[in-house]
Structure 1
Amino acid sequence: MRVHVALLMTAVLAAGCAGGPSSTTDESTPPLPTPAAATPSTGAFSPTDIAWLQLTAAMTQRLIPVLDLVPTQTTDPTWHGLAARVQASNRADLARSHDLLGEAGAPTTNPHEGHDMPGMITADELAALRSTTGKAFQRLLATHLRAHLAQAVKIAAAEQRAGVHPDTTALAAAVIRAGDGDLARLDQLDRPPATPRPT
């Protein structure tokens, strides 16, 4: 699997599994479910396609517990709305990734379990978010969400360039569109207040 991740990352950026398993793992990370039956698509899957599907699924699994915290850690309805939007699109993408992995005959287990990679929320970062509320939580959330979205867009662009399976590259295009939109919304929401002009 590390070879497949390297193929994907070499196509775009030098990243992948950062070292070995992390010393801490988050037990609340949802397990990979068995893929649902999917309508078969045309074309064969390349190692890059499978590596991207597995990596993007692993990243999303780390993000969802963070988004689950938003309703209890902040009362700001704009952050609630953004989190709900990001979570809905990511859950849909995760389900589609699982469908495609099932179609490819790839393992349903998470090959990145316990690995901390760019864009992934670590167990320590999740713990910090759980112990923070209000504006401090929003600032931390913005940092981690921006890192996740930027990395998700970056590796999806790699899949678009190097992938061969049409439905997988189409999913990558959808991830890019949603990620770019969410990054723009995040920038609007997390913009520092304007400095009053001197009178």
Structure 2
Amino acid sequence: MFITRTRSIVALAAVAAASLAGCGDADTGHTTEHGTSTTTSAVTSAPARAEHNDADVMFLQMMYPHHAQAVEMAQLVPSRTDNPRLRTLAAQVEQAQAPEMQQITTLLQSFGKPAPSASEGHEGHAMPGVMSAEQMAALRAASGPDFDRQWLTMMIEHHAGAIAMSETELAEGGNADAKALAAAIIAAQRAEIEQMQTMLGQR
């Protein structure tokens, strides 16, 4: 009788141990599954590094050649006029827009887009404020006060076009960095338009 009872106790203990082991496995599995789910959720919910939309891409792809033409116009100034105010302004335009072109390249690459072209868009896209080949030829051929007048008139129009493009980006874009660039362009180029209008005697 004692042996039988002892065997029963041992058997019950074995069953209990097996049950506990089973619970432990189930808990471990749940924990692992929960941990995996949590990790996946964290990765999924994390914001994309280069979140953007089509408006951001269009803005950057068009603004790059737009800026490139402004830099080209600025580089014409030292050899065509002795006007110190215009020389200072041209240097200011180049110093502001050349780094922005690099920023545009970096943003487009982060979107998985190719590096932009300085010439793309001058003829193929309707970019507001871009000078035609004929206008640029006339500017290159001018000098002195005539050059000053043409340059200021053209750059005012050029800046107005950049502001219009930037306002569209602020309204329709989704990338924070692209929109910050648009806001900076608007602020800087509005101030320069006022300065150029004063130089032309329009204010």
Q: Same fold (TM over 0.5)?
A: yes
**SS of equivalent residue, structure 1 residue 191:** coil
What does 1:145-156 correspond to in 2, within 5 Å? 145-156=155-166
Q: CA deviation at 1:145?
A: 0.1
Matching residue of 2:84: 77
The one-letter code matched in structure 2 to 1:49 is: D
Give the unaligned 5+ runs of structure 1.
1-40, 194-199
Task: Report the count of equivalent residues.
Answer: 153
TM-superposed CA distance for 1:86, in Å, is 1.0
Q: Structure 1 residues 76 and 167 mapped into 2: Cα distance closer, same or farther (>3 Å)?
A: same
Deviations 1:31-57 (A, max 9, x none): xxxxxxxxxx84511010000001111
User: Post-superposition shift, 1:105?
Assistant: 1.0
Instruction: Letter of the 2:109 partner, please give it.
Output: G
Residue 62 of structure 2 contacts residue 127 of structure 2 at CA under 8 Å; is this kept in 1?
A: no
1:99 aligned partner? 106
Structure possessing the higher radius of gyration over alpha carbons: 2
- 1 or 2 for the larger relative contact order (CA 8 Å, sep ≥6)? 1
Q: Select the structure that is richer in helix.
A: 2
**C-alpha deviation, 1:117, in angstroms:** 3.5
* Partner of residue 124, structure 1: 134
Aligned counterparts, 1:1-199, within 5 A: 42-110=49-117, 111-112=120-121, 114-115=123-124, 117-191=127-201
SS in 2 for 1:75: coil
Unmatched tracts of structure 2, length 5 or more: 1-47
**Identity value in percent:** 27
TM-score, normalised relative to structure 1: 0.72
Q: CA shift at 1:118, angstroms?
A: 2.4
Measured after TM superposition, the shift of residue 83 of structure 1 is 0.6
